[in-house]
Structure 1
């Protein structure tokens, strides 16, 4: 997929569409810019996890994990499911997985 080229002769509608996409991308990047949220997404790539499981995996307190999950849910990146008293989370779609693959390629692939 080619990046859009901004030109002086673009229609206002085309420019508005690009600005809308940039706004969406910016919100997504802000949502994943926190180490805790990024690690939650990394764990959820392998499948649904309960809040308790995520606490243990992250060695973090429930309040901190819940706060980060709330932000990810607000941004539409994770989806909750309640089972009794337990709440489970999964990725809402493939965007986080694709992003994590790109981040891994950019920052971690040389470590292999």
Structure 2
């Protein structure tokens, strides 16, 4: 890959990681990892206010990470970005699974030994 193309890809990756570098957005994507959710479902599951959920989902949608489906007056959101699904799979395994506390502690310990 040439230098210019690699620089473009690096900027693209940085924008992607910046979008993920938000606790509220990660929390929303974690809940959507298992399937689509409505704004109301996400607000209830996360404890966030509906306007906050809507704002964060709008950012995720603008970046192409989620898509919507309307059923009557309810809009459902789902993860559609393959990259986001793969990253969320790793994050879910290490931070959301039942033994996530042990996995996260292990990761933090390894990070501290560099």
Tell me the TM-score normalised to structure 1 length.
0.79
Encode CA deviations 1:32-90: one digit per residue, 9 max, x unaligned. 11101001111111001111100101111110000100110011100011111111000
* Structure 2 partner of 1:61: 49
Q: Secondary structure at the match of 2:2?
A: helix
What is the CA RMSD across the aligned residues, in angstroms? 2.1
Cα distance in 1 between the residues matched to 2:30 and 2:87: 10
Tell me the TM-score normalised to structure 2 length.
0.78
- State the structure with more CA Rg: 1
Cα distance in 2 between the residues matched to 1:89 and 1:105: 22
Encode CA deviations 1:9-32: one digit per residue, 9 max, x unaligned. xxxx70111011111101111111
Cα distance in 2 between the residues matched to 1:106 and 1:34: 17
* Structure 2 partner of 1:92: 80
2:89 to 101, 108, 111: 101
Shift of 1:106: 6.2
Cα distance in 1 between the residues matched to 2:94 and 2:13: 18
Counting matched residue pairs gives: 100
Higher helix fraction (1 or 2): 2
- Which gives a bigger RCO, structure 1 or 2 (Cα 8 Å, sep 6+)? 1
Give the unaligned 5+ runs of structure 2: 107-114
Give the unaligned 5+ runs of structure 1: 1-12
Cα distance in 1 between the residues matched to 2:10 and 2:43: 33
Shift of 1:102: 3.2
